[in-house]
Amino acid sequence: MTSKFLRSVLALAVFSMISAWAQTGGAATPTGAANSPAAPAASATTTQMVGAGTKVGTINIEQAVAGSNEGQRDFEALRKKLEPKQNELKSQNDELEGLQKQLQTQGDKLNADARATLVKQIETKKKSFDRALQDAQEDAQNQQKEIFQRILQKMAPSIVKYAQESGLSMIVDISNPWPQSPILWANEAVDITKPVVDLYNAQSGVPAPVPTGAGAGKAPAPKPAGTAPAKP
């Protein structure tokens, strides 16, 4: 999705937000399905016993945020917002590749001055492109992080609420696969991502996006904007 730095920032945000809700407002919510009429019945299909009386659930935070109605709406809006910059970068990249191809195919036919001018032009445009690409990627990542953190902050109470009403003692984020995370394997039966997203969608009031195009129905994963730099 993003750079390692961005992943670490988001991971810290996940821990901070959910911990805060569990220790403050969420702590007042009774735990266990039997204590609340609205509580879903804890079952082996959503939780797993680990030791005596400990129930564990897993959640893919990245998937939950990006797959929520609000996440799909906001990340799609960001994608459209970044399209002009992506098109601009593509034009710069195409122009740079054209000059590099010209140097490769005609370089030996040019006189020294013409060849030096072309090489200088390529170097100047490549520096400009690399700088624009880096700025665009940083800007895209910052906007993605802002969307992610904003939605996660609002989703955190839903995560805590679902966990408490289901009698969970622990939730493990499985956004990153092993060995990037300490979770080697987890049964899909303990995954609570979908019910948490469903709960948040109902509480947020944001309608599901209207499917359009061949890729309709898939949650857009947040990715940095930009085009791969031209080969020197």
What are the backbone dihedrals phi and psi of residue 178, each rounded to the nearest 5 degrees, phi first? Answer: -65, 140
Q: Tell me, what's the pLDDT at 211?
A: 79
Q: How many domains does the chain have?
A: 1
Domain assignment present for residue 41? The answer is: yes
Sign of the CA dihedral running 132, 133, 138, 144 = positive
Segments of the chain assigned E as strands: 48-49, 55-59, 170-173
Domain assignment present for residue 212? The answer is: no
Segments of 14-115 assigned E as strands: 48-49, 55-59
Domain assignment present for residue 77? The answer is: yes
Write out the residue range of the structural domain in which residue 148 sits: 4-204
Domain assignment present for residue 166? The answer is: yes
Q: Does the N-terminal peptide bond of residue 179 adopt cis geometry, omega within 30 degrees of 0? A: yes
Domain assignment present for residue 124? The answer is: yes
Closest to 13 (Cα-Cα) out of 139, 155, 137, 135: 155
Domain assignment present for residue 59? The answer is: yes
Domain assignment present for residue 222? The answer is: no
Q: Tell me, what's the pLDDT at 52?
A: 54
Mean pLDDT per 10-residue section of the chain, whose length is 232 residues: 46 49 46 38 44 82 97 97 97 96 91 94 96 96 97 96 93 91 89 97 94 55 42 40
Closest to 136 (Cα-Cα) out of 82, 90, 79: 82
Domain assignment present for residue 193? The answer is: yes
Instruction: Give pTM, 2 decimals.
Output: 0.69
In degrees, rounded to 5, the angle at the alpha carbon of residue 136 between the alpha carbons of residues 222 and 9 is 50
